[in-house]
Homo-oligomer: A and B are copies of this chain.
Amino acid sequence: MRLAMIGLGKMGGNMVRRLRRAGIEVVGYDRDAKTVAGLAEEAGMIAATSVADAVSKLGPPPSPRVVWLMLPSGDPTENQLKDLAPMLSRGDIVVDGGNSNFKDSQRRGAWLAERDIGFMDSGTSGGVWGLDNGYCLMVGATPEVAKTLEPVLRALAPAPDRGWAHVGPVGAGHYSKMIHNGIEYGMMQALAEGLDLLKGKQEFNYDLAQLTELWRHSSVVRSWLLDLTADGLKNDQELANVAPFVPDSGEGRWTVIDSVEQGIAAPVLTLALQMRFASQDKKGYSYRLLSLMRNAFGGHAVKSTGEGK
């Protein structure tokens, strides 16, 4: 089996390494030629100079030839797919392993199906640890397409028989990954709030590195997120150099939008996202307004920024 990986960033590059360790031939392309050359040298990847070159290096049909996109969601994935489709033949398969919105994946799957090209959406969890631990893969596809990709999934997963699954039709892979990330937001926020309360309780002068390490063993909250937190706090628990600003990517927002569209309550996942927005808001206009109102009705002092006059 031969597969082309398009996009050799943090995720795509490590996935190529993992596939090569399993002896799977991979053609690789990235906009950055140095990355391509490096992976060719290091992992025995077949270097491509363009997407067209990558497809040609998969050899001629008979199909299926597989092109795996590992690109930022939105325009980069959309544009690449538009360029790629005319280069493929009936029976070939495109995999989107990025964090695309499941509605885009459903639309793209239908669009490729009209051209008799298969599509699989793969929700991929594991981050930078996936190279060694394996990736958790939730894939949406027809049974035939999923079957074709099975050797690749078995190589990328933590073990051939676990950590990957064909969870439903096209779209179901990215939808379940979206919910996975929504849950991740909630779990992270719960851990962060609890540790913040412990930090605030000055009379007990807790060593948060000790406590989080302790909880890793037989406690109810033991989890991979706790493991990472405990490791991080070992070096520094003041976090003075970490700005209190939490970015968010698409999946947390889409989870909340989906909760609204389904009319199913998900208040904690929603609030975990909203707290990230609050952290991103440097202007604090709503807080300024509240201060204004308190002053207006109760004469409460307004704390000044010292700016303006």
Instruction: Identify the A interface with B (CB < 8 A).
Output: 125-127, 129-130, 133-136, 138, 140, 157-159, 162-165, 167-169, 171-172, 175-176, 179-187, 189-191, 193-198, 200-201, 203-207, 210-211, 213-215, 217-226, 255, 258-259, 262, 264-269, 271-272, 275
Given contacts A184-B221, A218-B125, A200 and B264 within 8 Å (CB-CB) = yes
CB A91 to nearest CB in B, in angstroms, measures 25
Q: Among B140, B194, B213, B258, which residue has its beta carbon within 8 angstroms of that of A266?
A: B194
Given contacts A157-B218, A184-B220, A214-B163, A176 and B206 within 8 Å (CB-CB) = yes
Residues of B within 8 A of A258 (CB): 197, 201
Task: Please list 28 pairs of residues, one from A and one from B, whose beta carbons are closer than 8 Å in the complex, sorted by A's number.
Answer: A125-B218, A130-B218, A133-B218, A162-B213, A162-B217, A167-B206, A167-B207, A167-B214, A168-B205, A171-B203, A175-B198, A175-B201, A175-B204, A179-B195, A179-B197, A180-B194, A180-B215, A181-B220, A182-B193, A183-B194, A184-B220, A185-B190, A187-B223, A193-B259, A197-B255, A201-B258, A219-B224, A268-B272
Residues of B within 8 A of A138 (CB): 211, 214
Complex alpha-carbon distance, A225 and B225, angstroms: 12
Q: Is A266 in contact with B136, judged by CB distance below 8 angstroms?
A: no
Given contacts A127-B220, A217-B158, A267 and B193 within 8 Å (CB-CB) = yes
Residues of B within 8 A of A167 (CB): 204, 206-207, 210-211, 214
Chain B residue nearest to A132 in the complex (CB) = B218
Chain B residue nearest to A130 in the complex (CB) = B218
Residues of B within 8 A of A164 (CB): 214
Q: Is B172 in contact with A126, judged by CB distance below 8 angstroms?
A: no
Q: Among B197, B206, B267, B269, which residue has its beta carbon within 8 angstroms of that of A262?
A: B197
Complex alpha-carbon distance, A210 and B223, angstroms: 19
Q: Is B186 in contact with A189, judged by CB distance below 8 angstroms?
A: yes
Chain B residue nearest to A267 in the complex (CB) = B271
- Beyond contacts A162-B213, A167-B207, A196-B266: 9 other A-B pairs, Cβ-Cβ < 8 A, are A125-B219, A126-B218, A126-B219, A126-B220, A168-B205, A169-B204, A182-B190, A221-B225, A268-B275
Q: Among B195, B214, B224, B271, which residue has its beta carbon within 8 angstroms of that of A223?
A: B224
CB A150 to nearest CB in B, in angstroms, measures 15
Chain B residue nearest to A258 in the complex (CB) = B197
Q: Is A190 in contact with B193, judged by CB distance below 8 angstroms?
A: no
Residues of B within 8 A of A198 (CB): 175-176, 179
CB A10 to nearest CB in B, in angstroms, measures 15
Complex alpha-carbon distance, A129 and B217, angstroms: 12
Given contacts A126-B219, A204-B169, A217-B134, A190 and B224 within 8 Å (CB-CB) = no
CB A252 to nearest CB in B, in angstroms, measures 11
Chain B residue nearest to A210 in the complex (CB) = B165
Q: Is A180 in contact with B267, judged by CB distance below 8 angstroms?
A: no
